[in-house]
Amino acid sequence: MSSIFFTNAVRFFILVAFQGLVLRNIGAEWESFPFVNIIIYPLFIFLLPFNTPRPLEIILGFLLGLSIDAFYNSMGVHASATVFLAFMRPMVLGMLEPRAGYNVNWSPTWRRMGTVWFVKYICLMLPLHLFFYFAVEAFTPVYFLLILKKTFFSFILSVVVIFMVHLIIKPID
């Protein structure tokens, strides 16, 4: 139990630091392409073990989002998006559940679940997070097309970076 806690705690701090110190600045430098943000911190929620209690997922999502909000000075926008993501996670996992079910002691990693399952999982979860984030950031349906554009382009770049990070780090389950 303590190794799972330690692994996830380290993952939390590394993703928050990388997002806040590195990726935040990359997105700010692209003035000619302002609707692209590289967002990989939801990877923490994605990789939580299957047996993580739902209230704990939501609390961790809130703490993760609040930590990112501190870097972005965004007053709860990231926190709301990660709470939404943590809320939606069991539903997405239910849609993707294999016939034999999940081994509840595992984390949903590429190595454990396979390439096709992992790609489906990321490609369902990340757009949920991004769309909710950009919708709350805009806070009006007037910018619906801009929200979709930001979601699409940020998804493309973010998913590439998430897969690269996942391949490089090879998370421990």
Tokens of 42: 């939801």
Where in the sequence is the domain holding 86, given as residue range(s)?
Answer: 2-169
Question: What is the per-residue pLDDT for 91?
Answer: 95
Question: What is the per-residue pLDDT for 162?
Answer: 92
Rounded Cα distance between 131 and 144, Å, is: 10
Question: What is the domain count for the chain?
Answer: 1
Q: Is the dihedral of CA 102, 163, 57, 150 positive or negative?
A: negative
Is 10 exposed, middle or buried (CB count within 10 Å of its CB: 0-12, 13-18, 19+)? exposed
Q: Is the dihedral of CA 77, 79, 82, 87 positive or negative?
A: negative
Q: What angle (nearest 5°) sits at the alpha carbon of residue 86, between those of residues 83 and 87?
A: 85
Question: What is the per-residue pLDDT for 104?
Answer: 81
Rounded Cα distance between 117 and 129, Å, is: 19
DSSP notation for 134-156: HHHHH-SGGGHHHHHHHHHHHHH
From first to last of its 173 residues, what are the pLDDT tens digits of the chain?
578 888 889 889 999 999 999 888 776 556 666 678 899 999 999 999 999 999 999 999 999 999 999 999 988 999 999 999 999 999 999 999 888 888 888 888 888 888 899 999 999 999 999 999 999 999 888 889 999 999 999 999 999 999 888 888 766 55
Question: What is the per-residue pLDDT for 1?
Answer: 55
Question: What is the per-residue pLDDT for 44?
Answer: 94
User: CA of 82: how far to CAs of 44, 89, 92, in Å?
Assistant: 10, 10, 15
